[in-house]
Structure 1
Amino acid sequence: MTNSLPEMAEIWQQTLNWQPSDHQQAQFQRLYHLILEGNRQLNLTRITDPQEFWEKHLWDSLRGIALKGEFITSLKEGASVIDIGTGAGFPGIPVTIIAPNCTITLMDSTRKKITFIETVLTELALTNAKTLVARAEEIGQQSKHRQAYDVALIRAVGTASVCAEYTLPLLKQGGLAIIYRGNWTEDETTGLENAVKQLGGVIEAIEKFTTPLSQSIRHCVYLRKVATTAVQFPRATGVPTQKPL
């Protein structure tokens, strides 16, 4: 098979105290191939080199769901998870692969991307995931989705305060939002604290780490939902981006 993904068992073990089973490794490999194929029709990702794909899509996706070097406990207990703006399926599909007890909703506003993801779920026989074509501002006001999730993942979408406004309304009391970032500054923390307070959350942790192959700096911001989000949030489509809290 051309373009085989590296296995990286030692790095998985050292960084996340975990490694994929043979079955999960095969699913990662198949996912990689499906994305390379899908890239011909859709602009899914610029990252196609096997090592880079492993680091920036697989490892990075799973590093986000680990706090202090271990996967967050709610994933073992069958949490209800939503990935907002999943795009080509990251971080949601790798999380679906490693957390079979959880129900994962992969959400994107682009129908073509969701159609592609549905093919992937079928090909990988992932029955614990479902898809949703929607915008975060809309579903945040729908009773079916509002306060319905234990964990909300959001990567490569808007500023941190926008991410907070997209995620916190969807979380149950005690739920966790995980915001994936590249760089992060103290000023961003201050700005985010203000937004999070209005949305019924607190910043639980900000973790800085380097990626294992390219030594790039990454951050994950963890928000805990501690109070009910006020009814006016999330605001109408486009408003969170134009007028961040």
Structure 2
Amino acid sequence: MDYQILEQKLGELGIKQDQNQLERFHKFYQLLIEWNKVMNLTGITEYEDVVEKHFVDSLSIIKAIDLSRIHTVIDIGTGAGFPGIPLKIAFPHLRVVLLDSLNKRIKFLDEVIFQLGLTEICTIHGRAEEYARKEEYREQFDLCVSRAVANLSTLSEYCLPYIQVGGIFVPYKSGEIDDEVEQSKKAVRILGGNIKEVMKFELPGTDIHRSFVLIHKEQHTQKKYPRKAGIPAKEPL
């Protein structure tokens, strides 16, 4: 198998992968396309597009943080496994939890984990608001990531409760984010976070604009957050 496109695109990010890792990315692509025929996982199916818009996009977080200093990661609303699975393949030292509310997607992710022979990665099926109240998940992670589509105030209420004090929440956002960041500052503060930086860039070789919002967890999240399922989306803080 020729991994040239994958190697080149990851190389543009400054990521070098061995043969085993390249094979895992390719196998992930094959499973994504195969399962996508029977369930809606992604609208992006061309190999080069998946490499660019899913794999490279997921890994571009290395522009914002040093992953060698991160040990535990939770990916909230992971969908088809982005960014969690590419992060696990590229950085095997990470211990990763993938959370999604749709059981069909969890079954797909379990199959990917099995077929790729990944260890220290698991899935949980449920809502972010519910699992954030469980002791084994609350304030247990160095890093929380999410490519889920929700405004930053709502997403912060879903995600910040999972991060330990000293950890960081990094949502993947599209280019224009200034107003949304401004509107979310109060919510982030209430939840124990602090917006330190917004990193804007273009994905290598594309005109796709990305923003990473670096939210540091500085205080414990009050027990009353997150509120009951559905409320964070309907009534953002």
Tell me the TM-score normalised to structure 2 length: 0.94
Q: Specify which of 209, 216, 221 is matched with residue 224 of structure 1.
A: 216
- Tell me if structure 2 keeps the 8 A contact 1:140–1:169: yes
Q: Specify which of 135, 158, 165 is matched with residue 166 of structure 1.
A: 158
Give the Cα separation in 1 of the matches to 2:43 and 2:220. 39
- Tell me if structure 2 keeps the 8 A contact 1:168–1:229: yes
Q: Specify which of 19, 24, 27 is matched with residue 22 of structure 1.
A: 19
Letter of the structure 1 residue corresponding to residue 5 of structure 2:
E
Q: Specify which of 84, 89, 92 is matched with residue 97 of structure 1.
A: 89
- Tell me if structure 1 keeps the 8 A contact 2:60–2:203: no
**Which residue of structure 1 lines up, in the alignment, with residue 67 of structure 2?**
72
- Tell me if structure 1 keeps the 8 A contact 2:78–2:148: no
**Which residue of structure 1 lines up, in the alignment, with residue 59 of structure 2?**
62
CA displacement at 1:99 relative to structure 2: 1.9
Give the Cα separation in 2 of the matches to 1:81 and 1:211. 22
Letter of the structure 2 residue corresponding to residue 55 of structure 1:
E
Give the Cα separation in 2 of the matches to 1:134 and 1:150. 21
- Tell me if structure 2 keeps the 8 A contact 1:161–1:244: yes
| Map 1:201-240 → 2, pairs under 5 A | 201-240=193-232
**Which residue of structure 1 lines up, in the alignment, with residue 185 of structure 2?**
193
- Tell me if structure 2 keeps the 8 A contact 1:31–1:120: yes
Q: Which runs of 5+ in 1 are unaligned?
A: none
Give the Cα separation in 1 of the matches to 2:177 and 2:57. 20
- Tell me if structure 2 keeps the 8 A contact 1:47–1:53: yes
Give the Cα separation in 2 of the matches to 1:23 and 1:186. 40
Give the Cα separation in 1 of the matches to 2:68 and 2:93. 12
Between 1:124-133 and 1:152-161, the stretch displaced more is 152-161
Tell me the TM-score normalised to structure 1 length: 0.92
- Tell me if structure 2 keeps the 8 A contact 1:5–1:51: no
**Which residue of structure 2 lines up, in the alignment, with residue 7 of structure 1?**
5
Letter of the structure 2 residue corresponding to residue 231 of structure 1:
K
| Map 1:168-183 → 2, pairs under 5 A | 168-183=160-175
Letter of the structure 2 residue corresponding to residue 13 of structure 1:
G
CA displacement at 1:5 relative to structure 2: 5.9
Structure 1 vs Structure 2: percent identity of aligned residues? 35
SS in 1 for 2:89: helix
Letter of the structure 2 residue corresponding to residue 33 of structure 1:
Q
Letter of the structure 2 residue corresponding to residue 199 of structure 1:
L
Give the Cα separation in 1 of the matches to 2:177 and 2:92. 35
- Tell me if structure 1 keeps the 8 A contact 2:177–2:211: no
Give the Cα separation in 2 of the matches to 1:94 and 1:186. 28
Letter of the structure 2 residue corresponding to residue 203 of structure 1:
I
Q: Which runs of 5+ in 2 are unaligned?
A: none
Letter of the structure 2 residue corresponding to residue 165 of structure 1:
E
Moved over 6 A (4+): none
Give the Cα separation in 2 of the matches to 1:71 and 1:51. 26
CA displacement at 1:193 relative to structure 2: 1.3
Give the Cα separation in 2 of the matches to 1:10 and 1:112. 33
Q: Deviations over 1:99-123 (max 9, x none)?
A: 2122100110101100011001000
| Map 1:148-167 → 2, pairs under 5 A | 148-167=140-159
Letter of the structure 1 residue corresponding to residue 50 of structure 2:
F
CA displacement at 1:11 relative to structure 2: 4.1
Change (3 A) 1:243 1:160: same
